[in-house]
Structure 1
Amino acid sequence: MNRPSFLEGALVALGAALGGSVLYTGLRLALLPDAALALTVAALGLGYLLYLLGRSGERVGRVLLVLAWIAVSAAALGLLPGVWGQVLIQLGFIWVARVWNFHGTPTAALLDLGLILGGGAAALWAAVHSGSLFLAVWCLFLVQALFAAIPVRTGLGPDRTLGPTAPAEPFDLARRAAEGALRRIADHP
């Protein structure tokens, strides 16, 4: 699994803030401010989702997650006026993607949910006090970079965990094979 580091997350936050600001400015030339902001939020959500999927070693559910994102985001853009519905949907998809791809325990999922909520609060605070989309997006994704500090799920195998396991590294495969051979030798005197 290619788990991102905090530094990489901070760089992603900077890129998202720059990209979101530029996209919003461009969309404002053709759309109303609320529609431009909603589309910008959706684009940032998709960009971060694709980033997470690219950094994850998980192979199962990628296409389904992207298709679900497309369906739910498009429905929200069409049915929910304003930007708040889109913000909540994107934050929810970020959380689901990280839980699916990086966390294996309920505790890790709850810690990640706390980061999502804390990042949303930091972004709201930055937007209210500065009026800057750049600072709001940067604060949101900078807090999200802290998810690198949440403990990684271990590839314990289906006999010791109920959730999906991390892809096995060559060393882990060799260690498991050696342990299995030792168990077989110990069972047959």
Structure 2
Amino acid sequence: MSKTTFWRGAAIALALSIFGALALVLFAPLVGEGFGLRLLISALGLAYVVILLRDSRARTGRLVVFAAWMTATAALFLLNPGVWVWLTAQTAAIWLTRCLYIHDSLVAAAMDALLNGAALLASLAAALHTQSLFLALWTFFLVQAAFIYIPRKLSASERSEAPAGDEDFERAYRNADAALRRLSRHS
């Protein structure tokens, strides 16, 4: 797992933006601009979810997340709603993936939802003012890179109230060791 930083997120944003802008220019004449844009939204959503899963420490549930993403995307292709529904669905997939694998509290998940909404609105503003897909994608993924500044838990005091997993193990180990010593003295 590589350490997630804002600058790494900015580099990912740049790479996805360049790929997205070039892909639409190359494939829109072949499949049409509307369908090409929907394919691009799906591909970039999948790429970002895969990056999140790859960077996650958790190893369980990845296949379920991928299957859920595929199911949602297949439903989008079958129903063929407007582009805004596609954008919202892929953004929701990003948010749900981060909620499952990164955030440990409801407050962090709510802050991430606000960040995702801000990313959508900022990319809309960039698209409307510049008419540039590259800048709209860059803005969206650059705002997404700021998720690392959302605290995993509500507050530091909550972390100190509950002992960490290592502390629990150490306490159990000491108790078991003391019990074995008492048993060996009595035998």
TM range (shorter): 0.7 to 0.9
Q: Which residue of 1 aligns with 2:171?
A: 179
SS at match of 2:91: helix
Which whole-Å CA distance do the structure 2 matches of 1:110 and 1:153 have between them? 12
* Count of residue correspondences: 175
Aligned residue in 1 for 2:4: 4
CA distance in 1, matches of 2:107, 2:67: 27
What residue number does 1:152 align with? 152
Q: Provide the residue aligned with 2:185 in structure 1.
A: none
Answer 1 or 2: which has greater helix percent: 2
- Structure 1 residues 177, 75: closer, same or farther in 2, change over 3 A? closer
What TM-score do the two structures reach when normalised by structure 1?
0.83
Q: CA contact under 8 A between 2:105 and 2:152: conserved in structure 1?
A: no
Match in the other structure for 1:109: 109
Q: TM-score, normalised by structure 2?
A: 0.84
Please provide the CA RMSD for this pair. 2.7
Q: How far did 1:84 drift?
A: 1.5
Query: Structure 1 runs of 4+ off > 4 angstroms?
Result: 182-186
Flag the structure with larger Rg: 2
- Structure 2: state its 5+ residue gaps: 183-187
Q: Distance in 2 between matches of 1:75 and 1:17?
A: 25
1:113 positional shift: 0.4
Distance 2:16 2:74 in 1: 21
Q: Distance in 2 between matches of 1:25 and 1:82?
A: 20
Question: What is the aligned partner in structure 2 of residue 127 from structure 1?
Answer: 127
Q: Deviation per CA, 1:130-168, whole angstroms, max 9, x where unpaired?
A: 0000000000010010111111359x9xxx59xxxxxx9
SS of residue matched to 2:30: coil
Q: What's the offset of the Cα at 1:2? A: 5.2
Within 5 Å, give how 1:37-76 maps onto structure 2. 37-76=37-76
Residue identity opposite 2:169 in structure 1: A
1:95, distance to aligned residue in structure 2 (A): 0.2
